[in-house]
A = this chain, B = another copy of it.
Amino acid sequence: MARPTQKRSRKAGLPPGTPVHIGERKSETTRLMLLHYDEREAVEKRIEDVEECQTFRDRPGVTWINVAGMHDVARLERLGKTLGLHPLVIEDIFSTDQRPKTENYGEYLYIVLKALGNGGGEEIATEQISLILGRNFVVSFLESDSGLFNGVKDRLLKNPAHYVKSGADYLAYALMDTVVDNYFVIFERLGDRIEALQEALIARPEPENLRSLNALKREILYLRKSVWPLREVVSALQRGDSPLVQKGTGLYLRDLYDHTIHVIDTIETYRDMLSGMMDIYLSSLSIRLNEVMKVLTIIATIFMPLSFIVGIYGMNFRYMPELGWRWGYPLVLVVMAAIAGAMLMYFRRKKWI
């Protein structure tokens, strides 16, 4: 999980509107897929020359262009110009540290989302998804070629009529729904890690656990920033400010809004759980200190009086009658055993041992 400003600082000093790919190169290639569908059929096509996209714009039906991989700045900039996008939109598509947002450019809506994924290891990776929703087309930009939208594509290829009927905005909704549904899978795994850590903190207060706790906290902080604005985005789309979003799709967006709230609730719950864990850690440390001190106290309390007694009979006074007794030595041993036993009973009664 990268520091928030890490890449953004590279852009300082450049004029506004300069497209620079901010973020790690998550994919080596940049693949463009064009899918046109109408009442009768859906045709998928791989695109090399961005000018091909032009031709589909005035045909009936809906066109979906999916771009996977962001590093081919020149080609994608050309694509943006072909589609008539504002320079700021093109710049934002490349700046993959955007917050989720939706912007109304009249002719089209620009929507930014964050998809979550497990980037190989334990850490949660985020991927920026940019959507352009026009009257009869949707363009989606993904940072990597992860196949996130394959499920939507398959359903669309099977039943294009259903999708055409609902318009381009329903396709945009389906893509967003896929992104949000995927959150639950990631959160499931995150929940496991949090509970494992909590158990570990109660059992063994080690500094590594502290490091894990801090890492988790930061991840949650970061997820929160990725997800909170989503609520505003979906809410804005649902309110129907733009004629590009039809009334029928509004009901589905309301459902998506519910899911988003659900996601936010979950994050807040995790945050609350993590923020309580530091206290658990501190209390575990304190319990452990208590145990160490009890051992010390028990040992000292038993052996100090005994050492004192044997010290007494180590004195060299000439007149110490006990020293001459026949049973002096065994008697002292018995007395000391009695003292030790009494001590142990006292500690047992105090629940120390």
| A interface residue numbers (CB < 8 A to B) | 3-6, 8-9, 11-16, 86, 88, 91-92, 97-99, 101, 103, 151, 155, 173-174, 177-178, 181-182, 184-185, 187-188, 191, 195, 198, 202, 205, 207, 210-211, 214, 217-218, 221-222, 225, 251-252, 254-255, 258, 261-262, 265-266, 269, 272-273, 276, 278-290, 292-297, 299-301, 303-308, 310-320, 322-329, 332-333, 352
Which among B5, B88, B279 is the interface contact of A191 at CB below 8 angstroms? B5
Which among B284, B314, B328 is the interface contact of A319 at CB below 8 angstroms? B328
Residue numbers in B under 8 Å from A314 (CB-CB): 310-311, 314-316
Q: Considering only CB atoms, which chain B residue lies closest to A101 in the complex? A: B258
Cross-chain contact B276 with A286 (CB below 8 angstroms) = no
Cross-chain contact A202 with B198 (CB below 8 angstroms) = no
Tell me, in angstroms, the Cα distance from A9 to B263 when the chains sit together: 11
What DSSP secondary structure best describes chain A's contact surface? helix
Copies of this chain, how many? Answer: 5
- A242 shortest CB reach to chain B, Å: 15
Tell me, in angstroms, the Cα distance from A187 to B4 when the chains sit together: 9
Residue numbers in B under 8 Å from A14 (CB-CB): 181
Cross-chain contact A88 with B5 (CB below 8 angstroms) = no
Tell me, in angstroms, the Cα distance from A202 to B293 when the chains sit together: 20
Residue numbers in B under 8 Å from A261 (CB-CB): 99
Tell me, in angstroms, the Cα distance from A287 to B276 when the chains sit together: 19
Tell me, in angstroms, the Cα distance from A182 to B11 when the chains sit together: 9
**Extra A-B contacts (12), CB below 8 Å, given A202-B207, A319-B326:** A4-B191, A13-B151, A13-B178, A99-B265, A221-B272, A281-B283, A293-B293, A296-B301, A300-B300, A303-B304, A303-B305, A317-B323
Q: Considering only CB atoms, which chain B residue lies closest to A181 in the complex? A: B12
Tell me, in angstroms, the Cα distance from A181 to B251 when the chains sit together: 32
Residue numbers in B under 8 Å from A294 (CB-CB): 292
Cross-chain contact A332 with B315 (CB below 8 angstroms) = yes
Cross-chain contact B4 with A266 (CB below 8 angstroms) = yes
